Amino acid sequence: MNKPIVILENISTGYGTKPVLEKVNLTIQSNDFIGVLGPNGGGKTTLMKLILGLLHPFSGKVSFPSGRPPTGYLPQVSQIDKSFPITVKELVSSGLKDTNPWFPHLGISQRKRLHRMLDEAGLTKLASRPIGELSGGQLQKALLSRALINKPRLLILDEPNTHVDKLFERDLYNWLQALNKEMAILLVSHDIGTITPIVKTIACVNGNLHYHPSNQLSEEVLRVYNCPVDVIAHGPVPHRVLKSHDHKAE
């Protein structure tokens, strides 16, 4: 079943009085996997904060046809203070929402869910470690577990492929494609080469938003959409920035 879960209509938003995004329209369907591309400063993160409710629109309307969906959020890893004294267990449980936040101990059902999540992410052995002792990939796994533990219907990821090795990146993309069966995913990246093969559709964000209903981008489309992204192909990940008439890249 594919149904709209978030609708942005004619949105302008930004910080203070300065608009970063103008006249943005986007509908996120329940099984979407949207790659959000665009240059730094183009408004990718702003779009994400708007959908998360951290920013309000100057004008236009954000609506949720069946109520605000439970949302998982993975911030840029540079936003995380790795020296903060918090353990993997505590980090992941900070993504639990449904019960009362009072009292230091988690309830039984919450603890069960935490252990299942840690197990699924392969973090059980690291559960009591402070996050400062994790590798880049392990930290991303912990942050992704924090985003997933609340069973979201919408998963928003901001540059999840920074500071991780290629092996982890492939694991991550496999994981995301499996998760996409249960939730909509919005993957923000400035790196077109690595994400186009795994996303279903693409949104180019550069002051405004152009939606491209497939993951095949021609140079012409990029130019017309004014979407000067980095076109880089990495190692084993297939590079799918195609010329207009090429239909199969692999």
Partner 1 sequence: MSDLLSVFEYQFFRNAVVAAILISIYAAMVGTYIVSRKIVFIGGGITHASFGGIGIAYYFGANPFAGAAIFAILTALGIEWIAQKGKVREDSAIAILWSLGMAMGIIFVFMTPGYTPNLMSFLFGSILSVGTTDLYVLAGFGLLVGIIYAIFFRPILYTAFDPEFAQVMGVRVAIFRYMMSVLMAMAIVISIRSIGIILVLSIFTIPQITAMLFTRNFARIIPLAALWGITGSVTGLILSYLLDIPSGASIIFFLTMQLLIIKLIFVIKQKIAAGRN
Residues that bind partner 1 (CB under 8 A): 16, 52-54, 71, 73, 75, 79-81, 84-87, 90-91, 93-95, 97, 101-104, 128, 130, 132-133, 146, 150
Burial class (CB in 10 A: 0-12, 13-18, 19+), 223: exposed
What whole-number distance in Å separates Cα of residue 189 and Cα of residue 161?
8
**Which of 68/170 has CB closer to partner 1?**
68
> Least distance to partner 1 from the beta carbon of 213, Å?
28
* CB nearer partner 1, residue 156 or residue 209: 156
What are the residues whose beta carbons fall under 8 Å from the beta carbon of 61, sequence distance 6 or more?
7, 8, 9, 10, 11
| Identity of the residue numbered 24 | V
Task: Read off the tokens for 169.
Answer: 């990146």
Single-letter code of the amino acid located at 88: V
> Rounded distance, CA 216 to CA 218, Å?
7
Residues in the chain: 250
Cβ-based nearer residue to partner 1, 79 or 214: 79
AA identity, residue 62: V
Q: How far is the CB of 167 from partner 1 (least distance, A)?
A: 27
Tokens for 134, please give them: 């994790």
The Cα 70–Cα 195 span in angstroms is 24
Instruction: Tell me the closest approach of the beta carbon of residue 149 to partner 1, in angstroms.
Output: 10
Which is nearer to partner 1, 148 or 204 (by Cβ)?
148
CA distance 175 to 36: 18
Nearer to partner 1, 154 or 229 (CB): 154
Tokens of 155: 């998963």
Give 40 or 128: the residue with its C-beta nearer to partner 1.
128
- Least separation, in Å, of the C-beta of 143 and partner 1? 9
